[in-house]
Amino acid sequence: MYIVGISIYVKEEFREAFIKETLENAKNTRQEPLNLRFDVLQSRDDPNKFFLYEVYKNESGMAAHKETAHYKKWRENVAPMMAKPREGIKYTNLFPETEEAFEAK
Amino acid sequence: MYIVGISIYVKEEFREAFIKETLENAKNTRQEPLNLRFDVLQSRDDPNKFFLYEVYKNESGMAAHKETAHYKKWRENVAPMMAKPREGIKYTNLFPETEEAFEAK
């Protein structure tokens, strides 16, 4: 699996707009053939802090995602909402091991 | 859902021992009735960096996990392996919404 975890801090005045844009992007991404999950999380201690947990079948899936219209729209629309640059970290899975275990039903 | 994301940096000489301890903890945690997933990830850019993605049905599930023998054993055994204190962030889910979507099959 090719997994990306993205930490995002938004300016408070853009919080709800960020959520709207990100939910739309997440739902569209789940329609991509190589995407397995796209969890949108909000910190319980700081409502302006978010975490995106994106799982693709392979690196090509991540690359294909970045070429989609919904990703490009999201990236452009949320750019001015960031309180600081977002941080993405790429991972591989040690556990679990199957695509089925990662796929959001 | 009650979700915890934990970033961990280990000393290189303990990397394999950390993986062994953590996989054992993950597999045991998946047997807990309130746990939905426990993903063990390794950074693609730094093999000494790990991320644990733990999802429980609710806060009680997270609390129950911390009382288990396997968690206490893991915590004790990996403590000397850390290159710096581990950082855990608690989240709630905005998307997806169902337990089924989070449960690792």
Structural contact between residues B16 and B90, judged by C-beta atoms closer than 8 angstroms: no
Beta-carbon separation of A101 and B100 below 8 A: no
Residues of B in contact with A51 (CB under 8 A): 5, 89, 91
Please tell me the distance from the alpha carbon of residue A41 to that of residue A28, in angstroms, as a whole number.
17
Q: Which of B90, B95, B100 is the closest to A105 by Cβ?
A: B100
Beta-carbon separation of B92 and A41 below 8 A: yes
Residues of B in contact with A99 (CB under 8 A): none
Domain that holds residue B47: 2-102
CATH number at residue B14: 3.30.70.100
Residue A29 C-alpha, separation from nearest chain B C-alpha, in angstroms: 12
Beta-carbon separation of B90 and A45 below 8 A: yes
B90: helix, coil or strand? Answer: strand
Confidence at residue A8, expressed as pLDDT on a 0 to 100 scale: 98
Confidence at residue B42, expressed as pLDDT on a 0 to 100 scale: 98
Number of domains in chain B: 1
Angle at B40 between CA B35 and CA B41, to 5 degrees: 145
pLDDT-derived band at B52, boundaries 50, 70, 90 = very high
Give the global pTM.
Answer: 0.97
Chain A, chain B: beta-carbon pairs less than 8 Å apart: 95
pLDDT digits (tens, 9 = 90+) for B17-37: 999 999 999 999 999 999 999
Please tell me the distance from the alpha carbon of residue B12 to that of residue B16, in angstroms, as a whole number.
8
**pLDDT block averages, 10 residues each, chain A of length 105:** 98 98 98 98 98 98 98 98 97 98 96
ipTM computed for the complex: 0.96
Structural contact between residues B48 and A91, judged by C-beta atoms closer than 8 angstroms: no
